[in-house]
Amino acid sequence: MPTQAKVESVESLKKQLGGASTAVLTEYRGLSVRQLSDLRKQLKGAAAQYKVVKNRLARLAVKGSPLDALGPHLKGPTGLAFTVQDPVAVAKALQVFVKTNPQLQIRLGLVEGKVVQPAELKALADLPSKEQLRSQIVGAVQGPMAQLVSLLQAPLRELVYVLEARGKGAAESA
């Protein structure tokens, strides 16, 4: 018979994970409370949350949701990092934290419905962010357009130079 507190805990976790498109399972064994607090701060900067979860309750919370594939992997001390926004930012924040705190072990991730291993999460962290990719695309499109505008203006510019030189030549001969 589930207690009221456990039912509320499962409902709360369901609500928090409701729109999550990315979730990463970690093992936090060996980390101090201060280190976990630092991890939460770093993830908050990436628009993500970190929650230490009870496996049985977490399995109930993810059952029937897009994060259902994580259920079988909820074993041992489990921390769950999740976000509804950019998965690259979460992967980067976790990789930065792991460099300074190797006790945190990344076990598995779920990105846009696909289960990914720690090596794939590391590769995801090496990608540029959405904003960087957008700026690179704009730069790639803008460069040829600027050259085209310059080429289209060249005949007019040359005509102005010829007329200017002719005007100076006419002024000097008069």
Task: With beta carbons less than 8 A apart as the criterion, state whether 129 and 46 touch.
Answer: no
Q: Does residue 165 carry a pLDDT above 60?
A: yes
For residue 174, the model assigns a pLDDT of: 64
Q: How far apart are CA 85 and CA 65, in angstroms?
A: 17
Q: According to DSSP H, which parts of the chain are helical?
A: 4-17, 33-45, 55-62, 87-100, 118-125, 130-173
Supply the mean pLDDT for the chain: 84
For residue 31, the model assigns a pLDDT of: 86
What's the chain's Rg over C-alpha atoms?
A: 28
Q: What is the pLDDT of residues 59-98, one digit of tens each?
A: 888 887 878 888 888 888 888 888 888 888 888 889 999 9
Q: How far apart are CA 97 and CA 25, in angstroms?
A: 14
Q: What is the pLDDT of residues 6-61, one digit of tens each?
A: 888 888 888 877 778 888 999 988 888 999 999 899 889 888 889 888 888 888 88
- Residue 129 CB partners (closer than 8 Å, separation 6+): 86, 88, 89, 92
Answer whether 0.75 is exceeded by the pTM. no
For the purposes of burial, counting CB atoms within 10 Å of the CB of 79, is it exposed (0-12), middle (13-18) or buried (19 or more)?
A: buried
